[in-house]
């Protein structure tokens, strides 16, 4: 497999930073992989070697276990921390956890909860700081002034370097962004060749308006791109396969990632694989410079019609 120029895999989320890799590695399924700390460290090292240095976490992933598993791996090689950008999320509260007294899943974006979540994440991941903290979901009873206060407090303490949101609507994003005296660096949302909403509902436009880059979870539609049988998926898969064949690419997932990376907003797709060979392969999507015509060919296949 050819080597990718790692320099092209870096992007500044805002003019003030941070610098992250153009593809991030998601840790949501880390607990499911049944890997020990040494194997997890090997995955981290392979990812960094490939040029993917940004790791996406959340406090609740793996029923609050994924951050801890990640931390155990980092403890085996503390020096590698300086090569990573760790992103984590908070604000969702799960019931049924051994240390939880809650009986219903809910959102909590209070000063106290966000502060405690950060402290727990730092402890679990055995690190002194978090590069990027996101609010995992918009809380319908969130107090914007309380959120701005806790963000400012955490930034001043150095425990969190940068902040963003996840799954926020453009209006919710704007509401919080306009109250802060520093930039939100991203809005992390679902987007793929099968899920085009962020292109149309103002999500990407709002990120551009505030000088930040969007991050996309499920950029391969959770595997539906390969296994789905609906007419839409079959259409899109056929278009991807045609372009893959014309380009001589290894697989359609590379075309799907290259399609996202082609957007001028400098999007960061978050891939969820735990296999080193797939991480290395994903990085080669940078070698595929999707043309404007190819981009709209895939767009039309997803929408089921040509543009008006």
Across 259-275, b (16+ Cβ under 10 Å) vs e yields bbbbbebebbbbbbbbe
The torsion angle over the Cα atoms of residues 81, 173, 180 and 186, rounded to 10 degrees, is: 20
**What pLDDT is recorded for position 101?**
78
Q: What is the pLDDT of residues 90-123, one digit of tens each?
A: 999 999 765 667 889 999 999 999 999 999 999 9
If you average pLDDT over residues 141-164, what whole number do you get?
98
pLDDT band at 1 (very low <50, low <70, confident <90, very high): very low
Q: What is the pLDDT of residues 40-74, one digit of tens each?
A: 999 999 999 999 999 999 999 999 999 999 999 99
pLDDT at residue 5 tops 60: no
- Entry pTM: 0.95
**What pLDDT is recorded for position 33?**
83
Is residue 61 part of the annotated active site? The answer reads yes
Of the residues 61, 64, 107, 129, only one is catalytic, namely 61
Across the chain, what does the average pLDDT equal? Answer: 94
Residues 194 and 27 sit within 8 Å (Cβ to Cβ):
no
Q: Give me the long-range contacts of 290-293 (CB less than 8 A, separation at least 24).
A: 290/243, 290/255, 290/258, 290/259, 290/261, 290/262
Residues 127 and 158 sit within 8 Å (Cβ to Cβ):
no
pLDDT at residue 218 tops 50: yes
Q: Which CATH superfamily is domain 8-225+265-287 in?
A: NADP-dependent oxidoreductase domain (3.20.20.100)
């Amino acid at each position: 497999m050819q080597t990718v120029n790692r320099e092209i895999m870096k992007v500044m989320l805002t003019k003030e930073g941070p610098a992250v890799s153009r593809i991030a590695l998601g840790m949501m399924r880390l607990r499911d992989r049944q890997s020990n700390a040494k194997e997890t460290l090997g995955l981290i090292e392979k990812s960094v070697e490939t040029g993917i240095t940004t790791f996406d976490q959340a406090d609740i992933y793996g029923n609050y276990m994924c951050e801890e598993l990640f931390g155990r791996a980092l403890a085996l090689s503390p020096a590698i921390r300086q090569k990573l950008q760790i992103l984590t999320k908070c604000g969702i509260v799960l019931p049924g956890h051994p240390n939880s007294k809650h009986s219903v899943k809910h959102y909590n974006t209070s000063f106290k909860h966000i502060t405690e979540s950060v402290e727990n994440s730092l402890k679990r991941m055995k690190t002194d700081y978090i590069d990027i903290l996101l609010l995992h979901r918009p809380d319908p009873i969130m107090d914007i002034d309380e959120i701005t206060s806790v963000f400012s407090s955490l930034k001043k303490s150095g425990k969190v370097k940068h902040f963003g949101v996840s799954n926020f609507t453009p209006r919710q994003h704007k509401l919080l962004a306009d109250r802060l005296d520093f930039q939100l660096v991203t809005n992390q949302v679902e987007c793929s060749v099968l899920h085009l909403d962020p292109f149309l509902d103002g999500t990407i436009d709002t990120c551009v308006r505030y000088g930040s880059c969007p991050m996309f979870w499920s950029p391969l539609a959770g595997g539906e791109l390969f296994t789905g049988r609906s007419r839409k998926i079959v259409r899109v898969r056929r278009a991807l396969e045609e372009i893959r064949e014309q380009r001589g690419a290894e697989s359609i997932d590379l075309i799907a990632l290259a399609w996202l990376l082609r957007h001028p907003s400098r999007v960061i797709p978050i891939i969820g694989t735990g296999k080193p060979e797939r991480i290395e392969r994903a990085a080669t999507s940078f070698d595929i410079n999707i043309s404007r015509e190819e981009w709209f060919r895939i767009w039309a296949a997803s929408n089921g019609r040509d543009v008006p």
